[in-house]
Chains A and B, each alone.
Chain A
Amino acid sequence: MPTSSLCCEGFLGQAKTTSVGLGYPNLALATVPGHVDVQTSDELRANVLGTTVEHVIRNLTGEVAAVQAAADPEPDEIVFEGSFEEVNRLFLENGWSDGLPIVPPTKEKIAEFLAFTDLPSDHAIGKLLPDNRFATVWNVAVNGVMAGCRPEYMPILVALVEAMADPQYGVEHSGNTPGAETLIVLNGPLIKQLRFNYEQGALRDGFQPNTSIGRFWRLYLRNVAGFLLHLNDKGTFGNTWRVVLAENEDSLAKMKWPTVAADMGAPPGESAVTISRFTGGNVIVSVFGDSAEKVLPYLGNALVTHSGWELIFTVGMATGTYRPLLVLSPLIAETIAKTMTKQEVQNWLYENARMPAHLFEKYLWGWTNLVPGKRTLNDWVRLGKIPKAFAGNDPNRLVPVVTRPEHIMIAVSGDPLRSNCYLFVHNGMLGFPTTRTVKLPQEWRSKLRDAQM
């Protein structure tokens, strides 16, 4: 089927590299000059008539450019021998590193990682767009070595890549222009067994498992999925990877609150990772009060004020895919838990963290060129996309920011004796929360004991 794919000028580079991953390196592209968002209607029309139409006709009727496949090394092929500095220079020059020194991925070091999984090294976990390369146990180990992980982190790394390869997550969108970054939430016995930080400074680098596994995530996106800046990663600004957030499960057990993994359906007693991409977030500082009813308004207000245009940028909120994450310090969580379950907190926030319908609709289509048809909240209710709580005739009526109470994710971590919280938000369209249980190898305990000696 002859095709023509329309791209703004600034996206032609990404379109060309993505086309390679799809197996069509000569995919026919039609240029839309400049960026449509800042063009008047007359300018847009002139650009489409002056350039795009000609490209479309050429794409559909012209000659197809010849292409040739590039030869890649075999997975276990030694591609270079040299000093630490020479190896690092090679990896930087080829775009295989993030700019920090990497641990050289030698076969001996990789074997140490492979000893911590029962899967064969050539096991294909999945395929990762946009480069469309195989995610294998072998290259999980390679990138784990490079990131500075310890071999015993391997079961978590494999689970993370399983989640990354899940179509539900949508890894192919990881290079979007807002530069959203993945947050990994860890639950289960591995938090303590591998000595993750889950208390003060839980989101700061400084602890090897939290930091190196976060780095692994982005190295893997780079080397296997193919997200490189100036190519497939189009983050306008972007930011460095997020360290792994481990929950404080002692606090959760005391409150009898489920973990994030349990909320996502992971079996009890097992470790699990939950990944989600967030555009941004903020710290909620000095929450004050000795009861749930005094504390919750702070959290509800933060949820509403951060579900704003600059971070949500419209498209996902009303279609049931917006999943903000509140991270409560144990101090605040336990204050609330004196009288409320986690589910009751989610229900309270659903009922009370609300914004005027006219503001929500402004976010949905008033300020955007993104959603066609200028559908009102009532339209979305009629289409069955959102619940009846959003319907009504009064533009000042208060409506929820999510479509279901359980869509407000809640984690417990951070300094146990501080009254601060944190909120992560996104636009609901990218990086849907995805959970995988961590499968441990046979003789895990003895292997771990030996590794930690």
Chain B
Amino acid sequence: MAVVNYDSELRRAGAHATHGWRRLGFLAQRYVLGTFGLIIMVLFVWTALSADFISRYDPLTVDSAHRLAPPSWAHWLGTDSFGRDVWARIIHGARISLAVGIGSTALGATLGVIVGLASGYLSGWVDLVFQRITDILQSLPLLVLALVMTAALGPSLHNVIIAIAIPLIPTVSRVIRANTLALREQPFVEAAKSIGMSETRIAIRHVLPNTLAPLIVLATAQLGSTILTEASLSFLGLGIPEPYPSWGRMLSESAAEYVRTAPWLVIFPGVAISLAVFGTNLFGDALRDILDPRQRG
């Protein structure tokens, strides 16, 4: 007869690690790729925050004596056509990517939550109007809408954040609306109503916290795509203006003509974008598995 060792089975399922560091340790062991993603993200944030201390050159200083220098001990990743240090520009570029990524995701998610909650909870004509607006916003590809918006608002950091945040609203509001519609029928909402709580208070205190898990999953998933969109906008010359060292812009300056002569100008900014987005995607996937077990696959 087979003997089942319940203790080891429970341990494997994480029953011993219910909270605190032990729980974190268990999750890290279980979601290796997610942990890897988290490490990349932490590195990315740390680089952005301490850019001034870890780069030896100023990212904006032009040095015409050392134009297009290949990677060397003095310039780890080489210099660009103005003699600016590529390593310094990539490190400072992390700030822009992080600012746009977090800024537009937060703005898009906040507006999306407001629209989704109002739409799902108030229903009626509010829902109808918001649904139509969502339809309209979703009929244009993210990049097309963001391109037209940055062209309309003018190139600046703030405007790029707004231009990327607006197309995110429908994605978030759809999920929040669907969740709200389901939650509205739950007994605890009825209970809150029966003791005379106001609709706004029920929506904010009871319905909203219950939609947080899918919201976090969605926001992390969108973080990578906002970073990619900023890079695309800047690559096309309609995003962050000069002289800010945006990763996408670095590739646009160095595009096709440097493919032959200065490959380091093409390789390194692209690696930076891909690594940052890869990290957020890995982490986002693990987070979805942890917070939303129904989608686990």
A, B: real partners: no
Q: Which residues of A contact B (CB under 8 A)?
A: none
